[in-house]
Structure 1
Amino acid sequence: MKRGLIAAVAVAGMMVGATACGADDGDGGAKAGPDGYKGQKLTVWVMSGSNPAGWTKTVSADFKKATGATVDFKVQQWDGIQQKLTTALSESTPPDVVEIGNTHTAAYAAAGGLADLGDLKKKLGADWSEGFNKSAVVDGKQYALPWYAGNRVVMYNKKVWAQAGIKGTPKTRAELFKDFDTIGKKTKAQPLYLPGQNWYFLDGLIIGTGGELVKKQGDKYVSNLGDPKVAKAMQIYKDYQAFSDAPKNKDEANPQQAQVFAKGDVGAIIAMGYEAATAVQANPKIKDDIGFFTIPGESADKPEGVFLGGSNLAVAAGSQKQDLAKEFLKVALSKKADGAMVSESGWAPKSPDLASFAKDNPAAQAEAPAAAKSSGVTPLIPQWASVENTPNPIKDYMTSVLNGKSPAAAAKAVEGEINKRLAQQQ
């Protein structure tokens, strides 16, 4: 069984060596400024779907204007990226700037593959919210900078809700479940499409109950899946899933839940804002029927707990163009560029002064309350990334509970595998 990020530790020595081989002046002696960088090309790896067209065009132009250099965006696929990025960062000529999922940043930093960006953080991100920046800091050092992040919201079919006679949007979980029940009784639509293995939604529920997925046992991290707070979150998930006919042994990507939603016979899905575009692409007629609202919590004063998922941008420790890479980050993470990510892609604003960019994006507006009040991430330890590798044992836990096994028994069945993965990087 391959463990892409486990391999990162094995090549840590190579990464350090690659760093040592890099030019001390960062850009082979090139001087800063448009004249000094003119004619140079910076290689930036971004993941498929991450860089919207408008943002990419503007950032490319602004970067060239500021430095005289050009940027070469290399789009990567999520499937297999962990191993591919691990290999690339260990080579003597790695990509200069890389996009890294915020749950995986700690692993690459611990392996020695990323440059320290603490000086740049002070210049760019004084007002970034802690929730966004938390995953970019490892052992007190800034190894990446937050690019974008978002949290799940309820994406609903306004036509279905109108057919059920529902007016307004729910403010509590109980009200939401009442609306789902009404849709089930008064329409032919499936109230909610929620497959059994939407793992990041469960993580948000765990954040909401105050649970933790790992705990310290001596000097090691071990699974905490058997904790009653985790069991409580899983019960909430089970309550949600009871309104759905989706398979209990699949995740939201198999099939793509937005494409299921696009058929028009589903009341709602728990979705990222960008999934609306996927639905419209599958069925353009549904465009005007799509609405969003914040996932309501137990009480009206606090939204449901949510996983703040997204990506960071980092500079490869082995890059020989680190100074130019930092100039790119100044452009790519400027207020102008960050605002475009909010308005164009619907990501949550990462600072208060970006809120205005969300005014024309309903998904971003729906994300903002939970992102500010009740968001969190997966355990920020290098060992965690290997736990999420396919096959993710937590997904097996979820399916088992949904099929009737007690949370305690389901947790016990997979904790051995979780602990095995955690131990491989300790």
Structure 2
Amino acid sequence: MKNRPGLSCAVLLATALTATALTGCGHLPGMGDSTTTVTVWLMKGSASDGFVQRFTREYESEHKDIRLAVRIQEWGGIGAKVTAALRSGDGPDLIEVGNTQVAMYAESGGLRDLTLESARDLGSSDWLPGLADPGSIDGAQYGIPWYAANRVVIYNKDLFREAGITGPPKTRTQWIKDTEELNHGGRQGIYLAGQDWYTLSGFIWDEGGELAEEAGGVFTGALDSPAAIRGMNFYKELQGLGNGPRNADEAHPQQADVFAGGDVAQIIAVPGTAQTILKRNPRLKGKLGFFPIPGRTAARPSAVFTGGSDLIIPDKARHGDAAVGVVEALAGRKWQTELARTMSYVPNKAELAGVVKGEEGTAAMAAGAARGRATPNSPRWAAVEADNPIKPYMTAVLTGQDAGTAAKKASKLLTDELVDR
């Protein structure tokens, strides 16, 4: 991530960021026993080198008795590494984790309960639900929201103009109508892969359905509810207006590559996908627009899956109290604003959405984030995603199978994966 030589232990460490995970240097010579080194694990790509450098320098300047040892981690294999650190007590003092991973780590009993700190100092009542809810287990707040990202519609302004469409749709009904109109003149109205289950989740939630429901600590699949089936049926209607594969997700092929061809009017993706599109086809520069995924009415956009990160503190952290202060800074107004503007993220509070005003993609993302959700808060959800039964369910419906019958089968598979073994 960042840092300049000679400034501090964390700064020296961060200069090696681009090579490998950083190693801590403990107390610097001459600091004495009064200086506490807080070890922080951040994930690769979550924040720029410049952001980490600025935060480290300013935090250490304001807290003369604290040094930050920032160590960058790879997402691959991080689950086992964090779990081992929580058990050993020899791990970091502060860890960035995916928002949907908190329940898995909390189940180990190795996380510090941050409920009092979050309510008292961080204004938890205004947190984005898609970040805050996964961090809360049985009424205790273990994960503090750090940043959010969610899908929007990326569209080709030239193709919209050619079709006589003057502005983005505000409702699902108008969205379907516009997409049908875009399908003329050699254009493809939308490219939507058949197994984009994150997008499907938003449609299900928008209808009032759930992927799985919890009662008494037991999760059961809920794809066969009337509301969830309505969400799937809308997905089928929208997906049928393009030529996306029915038996593959958005990465096979990469939808950014498909859109870069120039004849696709819309895809559903995080705004940062636009950079990939422009690398593939620089001629699209200035032609890309963004709007929130339309909802059932113009009053509010669709619910969306919120990805992002939370900050956790191991219960056995050597410097847990000092780590709380670092969390409060990272999750507070000043550094949330800095992170959002630097990385084009959505801040952790709805009231901070205005800090990204003027950034069309991020503003569209922030509008959707207000209705953001996360996957079911089960410690076994990771097992679901490893062999995801939602994907073949979607393909079954898209290829003509009865939605109700296919949904019952998929719901049973979800239940089997979520059961406490």
State the TM-score bracket (shorter-chain normalisation).
0.7 to 0.9
Give the deviation of 1:418 after TM superposition.
1.9
- d(CA) in 1 for partners of 2:82, 2:282: 36
Contact 2:397 2:403 in 1 (8 A): yes
**Contact 2:213 2:376 (C-alpha < 8 Å) held by counterparts:** no
**Equivalents in 1 of 2:253, 2:107: separation in Å?**
35
**Residue number in structure 1 paired with 2:255:** 257
Specify the SS of the correspondent of 1:104: helix
Q: Distance in 2 between matches of 1:278 and 1:78?
A: 20
Offset from partner CA, 1:200-231 (integer Å, 9 cap, x none): 11111111010122235676322122111111
Tell me the equivalent position of 2:384: 387
Q: 1:320 aligns with which of 318, 321, 339?
A: 318
Q: Is the 8 A contact 2:37 2:69 kept in 1?
A: yes
Percent identical: 38
Letter in 1 for 2:101: H
| 3-state SS in 2 of match to 1:232 | helix
Q: 2:221 aligns with which of 206, 220, 223?
A: 223
Does 1:396 find its partner at 2:389? no
C-alpha change, 1:75 and 1:250, in structure 2 (3 Å) is: farther
Cα–Cα, structure 1 residues 295 and 35, in superposed 2: closer, same or farther, change >3 Å? farther
How many Å separate the matches in 2 of 1:321 and 1:130? 28
For structure 1, which segment, 358-367 or 247-256, has the greater mean C-alpha deviation from structure 2 after superposition? 247-256
1:367 alignment partner, one of 365, 368, 373: 365
- Give the CA deviation at 1:415: 3.4
Match of 2:98 in 1: 101
Alignment partners' CA distance in 2, 1:416 and 1:355:
39
Aligned to 2:72: 75
1:415 paired residue number: 411
Asked whether 1:129 is paired with 2:127, we answer yes
Q: Secondary structure at the match of 1:159?
A: helix
Q: Is the partner of 2:355 in helix, strand or coil?
A: helix
Residue of structure 2 in register with 1:153 after alignment: 152
Structure 1 residue 126 displacement after superposition? 4.5
How far residue 146 of structure 1 moved from its aligned partner, in angstroms, is 0.3
Deviation, structure 1 residue 46:
2.6
Structure 2 CA distance, aligned partners of 1:183 and 1:378?
33
Deviates more, 1:232-241 or 1:47-56: 47-56
Give the superposition deviation at 1:367: 2.4
Contact 1:306 1:371 in 2 (8 A): yes
CA distance, structure 1, for counterparts of residue 332 and residue 317 of structure 2: 22
Q: How does 1:260-275 map to 2 (within 5 A)?
A: 260-275=258-273
- On the 8 A contact 2:128/2:350 being kept in 1, the answer is no
Shift of 1:44: 2.5
Alignment of 1:177-192 (within 5 A): 177-186=176-185, 188-192=186-190
How big is each residue's C-alpha offset from its partner over 1:143-162, in whole Å with a ceiling of 9 and x where there is no partner? 11000113321111112222
Match of 1:234 among 222, 232, 235: 232
Which consecutive residues of structure 2, in runs of 5 or more, have no partner in the other structure? 1-26
AA at the equivalent of 1:185: H
Please tell me whether the aligned partners of residues 274 and 345 of structure 1 are also in contact (alpha carbons under 8 angstroms): no
**Aligned to 1:246, which of 226, 244, 247?**
244
Write the distance in 2 (CA, Å) between the matches of 1:175 and 1:134. 32
1:136 alignment partner AA: G
* Higher relative contact order, structure no. (Cα contacts within 8 Å, ≥ 6 residues apart): 1
8 A Cα contact 2:341 2:356, kept in partner: yes
User: In structure 2, what is the equivalent of residue 293 of structure 1?
Assistant: 291
User: Counterpart of 1:148 in 2: which secondary structure?
Assistant: strand
Q: Which TM-score applies when normalising by structure 1? A: 0.83
Question: Which amino acid is the alignment partner of residue 191 of structure 2?
Answer: Y
Q: Structure 1 stretches of 5 or more lacking a match?
A: 1-29
Q: Report the CA distance between 1:193 and its aligned residue.
A: 1.7
SS of the residue 1:356 aligns to: helix
What TM-score results when the alignment is normalised by the length of structure 2? 0.84
Superposed counterparts of 1:188-227, under 5 Å: 188-216=186-214, 220-227=218-225
Measured in 1, the distance between the counterparts of 2:319 and 2:219 equals 37
Tell me which amino acid in the other structure corresponds to 2:180.
Answer: D
Residues 322, 155 of structure 1: alpha-carbon distance in 2 compared, 3 angstrom cutoff? same
SS in structure 2 of the partner of residue 149 of structure 1: strand
Which residue is equivalent to 1:166? Answer: 165
Counterpart-to-counterpart distance in 2, 1:45 and 1:255 = 33
**Matched-pair contact (CA < 8 Å) for 2:208–2:227:** yes
Q: Distance in 2 between matches of 1:195 and 1:383?
A: 26
Larger helix proportion, structure 1 or 2?
1
- Tell me if the contact between 1:343 and 1:360 (Cα under 8 Å) persists in the aligned partners: no
